Amino acid sequence: MSPTNPRKRTQLFLSVAWLVCLQSVLQPVHAAVSDHTPATTIKLADNVILRHRFVDDSTIEFTMEAQTTGFLALGFGTTSLTNVDLIWGSVNSSGVGSINDYWSTSASSQVADTSDGGSSNVTLTDSSESGGKTSLTFQRALNTGDSKDTVISMGDNPIVWAIAKSGAADPEALDLNGNINSATLKVQKLSWLTATFGSVEVKWNIDDSLQEIEMQMIGDTTGYLSFGFGSSMGAADVYVGSYTTQANCSDAWSSAYQAPPADASNDISGVYGDQNNGKTHIGFFRALNTGDDKDIAITRNPMSIIWAVSGSD
The per-residue pLDDT for range 87-126, each reduced to its tens digit, is: 999 998 889 999 999 998 887 788 899 998 999 999 999 9
Q: What is the pLDDT of residues 3-17, one digit of tens each?
A: 333 332 222 223 333
Question: How long, in residues, is the chain?
Answer: 313
CB atoms within 10 A of CB 95: 10
The pLDDT tens digits for 191-243 are 999 999 888 899 999 999 999 999 999 999 999 999 899 988 889 999 999 99
The set of residues, in sequence order, having a beta carbon less than 8 Å from that of 49 and lying 6+ positions away, is 41, 42, 43, 64, 65, 66
| CA neighbor of 32 nearest in space, from 251, 193, 246, 158 | 193
Q: What does the pLDDT read at residue 177? A: 57
pLDDT band (50, 70, 90) for residue 166: low
